[in-house]
Amino acid sequence: MNMIFKDRFNNKVAIVTGAAQGIGKGVAERLAKEGAKTILVDRSDLVIEVTKSLQDQGLDALYVTADLETYEGFQKVVNETLKHAEHIDILINNVGGTIWAKPFEHYQEDEIIKEINRSLYPTIWGCRSVLQPMIANGGGVIINVSSIATRSINRVPYAAAKGGVNALTASLAFEQAPNNIRVVAIATGGTEAPERIIPRNENPMSEQEKVWYQQIVDQTRNSSLQKKYGTVEDQVSAILFVASDEAKFITGVTIPVSGGDLG
């Protein structure tokens, strides 16, 4: 059952990346229902349909399509947001996700680069792009969606990218605390989610890749004290709590939401 705190984000302007599906979609929907002017961002046009659904409910939602693997792409998001709102209060950096599942010796050079580009750079560019508007506004909140996969198997490049997200979170929070900007990471554990409409890897897995992926699933479940996967709503609730004023004394940390797996 979704717990909606109707007015928790009244008068807040929130950007959510990767908002077309999965955790990002859930976060954007809850933010809008809890009063935020919500900017849904994705490179897929699927984000238009999600935004229209919110608008049809009378909620304050806009979309921007952009490639967030580039600084220029994220600057477009910020510029479009500031056309429709006078400030930016919250950024949820949600873009990321492992593309391949296999032991590191089987990764090719271009695959490693693509993993880092997908799961590290959108968060770096997002943090950089919103800083000046947040500083000018007297503060803000940045939530970086990380992963417990920093201690995992068969996805080393992804683990390295999320380790970078955790370090970015700690260092940026240290630096920006005088500007009243909080920075927190949520390390998601194994999460049961609807099948992706647009898969991260366009090529179907080989039989060997299916075995390697199952090893990830088994290791993730076994590493959890609760021995299970969580739900999208588990992640959404944690992200929204940390983004809210209820968590105003929390910054500079990576919080695992993973049934006890510390990553």
**109-114, long-range: CB within 8 Å, 24+ apart, which pairs?**
111/157, 112/157
Cross-strand bridge partners of residue 140: 181
Can you tell me the distance from the alpha carbon of 65 to that of 57, in angstroms, rounded to the nearest whole number? 21
| Residues involved in catalysis | 158
What value, to the nearest 5°, has the Cα angle with vertex 120 and ends 122 and 73?
A: 20
Report how far residue 14's alpha carbon sits from residue 81's, in angstroms, rounded to the nearest whole number. 9
Tokens 């009243």 sit on residue: 180
- The amino acid sitting at 75 is Q
CA-nearest of 170, 158, 221 to 191 is 221
| Residue carrying the six token digits 């049809």 | 56
- As a whole number of angstroms, the distance between CA 95 and CA 257 comes to 17
For residues 91 and 183, what is the distance between their CA atoms, to the nearest angstrom? 10
- Give the whole-angstrom CA distance, residue 128 versus residue 237: 25
Q: Which two tokens stand for residue 10?
A: 């009244």
239/23 Cα distance (integer angstroms): 10
